[in-house]
């Protein structure tokens, strides 16, 4: 499968679940690169660790069923933005590409005005993003891996509860 086609499929999935108003913007590094066993591994294709960990947190807060999750994620005004194209890593790109990605994120945030930005990255990269978006309400969570998925889920539950308390998200669906 050619890389452009893979990117197009990812962007089509992303746009399918784009809310009219973005209240909570999740920022991650990049969608996973193509694998031999699955054509498209992506949050919005329901087959990544980030998807499952995020679903668990939303389920605990809102009692959302998995088959409803992405639709409810959208209705709540939540949206996932990736800094880099599929399979690219922050460490694997140069300073110029990093700066372009950060500038593009800044323009996206200015244009959409989310009330909360949840950065899902390794801490060193999260600090760079937090600095770039210092005028916004930014919370950082360490990307969920097999070793720290519980920490991510608990952290996201706390972020969601705070968002509810601050009227960014509704108390009930």
pLDDT of 8-66, one tens digit each? 889 999 999 999 999 999 999 999 887 766 678 899 999 999 999 999 999 999 999 99
Buried b (16+ CB within 10 A) or exposed e, 106-135: eeebeebebbbbbbbbeeebbeebbebbee
**pLDDT classification of 4: cutoffs 50, 70, 90:** low
Report the C-alpha gap between 69 and 56 in whole angstroms: 10
Tell me the CA distances in angstroms from 74 to 10, 44, 51, 81, one per residue in order. 16, 11, 13, 13
pLDDT > 60? residue 2: no
| Fold annotation for 3-165 | Uracil-DNA Glycosylase, subunit E (3.40.470)
pLDDT for the residue 103 = 96
Domain ranges of the chain: 3-165
pLDDT for the residue 1 = 44
Q: What is the mean pLDDT of residues 98-117?
A: 97
Please tell me whether residue 82 adopts helix, strand or coil conformation.
strand
């Amino acid at each position: 499968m050619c890389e452009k086609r893979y990117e197009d499929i990812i962007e089509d999935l992303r746009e399918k679940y784009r809310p009219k108003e973005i209240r909570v913007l999740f920022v991650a590094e990049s969608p996973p690169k193509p694998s031999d066993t699955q054509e498209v591994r992506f949050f919005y294709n329901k087959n990544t660790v980030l998807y499952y960990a995020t679903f668990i947190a939303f389920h605990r807060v809102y009692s959302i069923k998995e088959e409803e999750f992405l639709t409810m994620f959208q209705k709540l005004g939540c949206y996932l933005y990736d800094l880099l194209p599929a399979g690219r890593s922050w460490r694997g790109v140069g300073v110029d590409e990093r700066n372009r990605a950060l500038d593009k994120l800044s323009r996206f945030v200015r244009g959409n005005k989310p009330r909360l930005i949840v950065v899902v990255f390794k801490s060193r990269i999260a600090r760079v993003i937090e600095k770039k978006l210092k005028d916004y309400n930014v919370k950082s969570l360490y990307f969920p891996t097999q070793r720290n998925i519980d920490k991510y889920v608990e952290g996201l539950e706390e972020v969601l509860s705070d968002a509810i308390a601050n009227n960014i998200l509704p108390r009930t669906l």
